[in-house]
Amino acid sequence: MRCTTTTALLAVLLLAGGATACSDNKSYEEITADCAATIKDQPEGDTSKPDECDGVNEDDYKVLRISQGLEDSGVVKDGEVNMDKLLDDATTTP
């Protein structure tokens, strides 16, 4: 069974949002998508909250950050969990 954690989390985020907090009347879905794209484009190690994420509630922002971290680490690619990579990282002794 393939896990699609990142895709599922992003879908929940996009469907759960209802508030509009931007002056150009973007939907919460659009704000969240812009935020996710901006996080993806940030330089490695930059953990500052981008201005594009101002309309995203804190819990959703944390999920976007975690999702991007999983993508960056190679554990998740295109919404699919690489179980070999995940298990290799979990069973490797320091």
The residue type of 76 is V
Give the model's pLDDT for residue 19.
42
75's CB contacts (< 8 A; 6+ apart) are 81, 82, 85, 86, 89
CA Rg, the chain, in Å?
Answer: 15
Residues 36-68, buried b or exposed e (16+ Cβ, 10 A)? beebeeeeeeeeeebebbebbeeebbebbbebb
- The pLDDT tens digits of the residues spanning 39-85 come to 999 998 898 999 999 999 999 999 999 999 999 888 898 889 988 88
Interatomic CA distance for residues 13 and 29, integer angstroms: 8
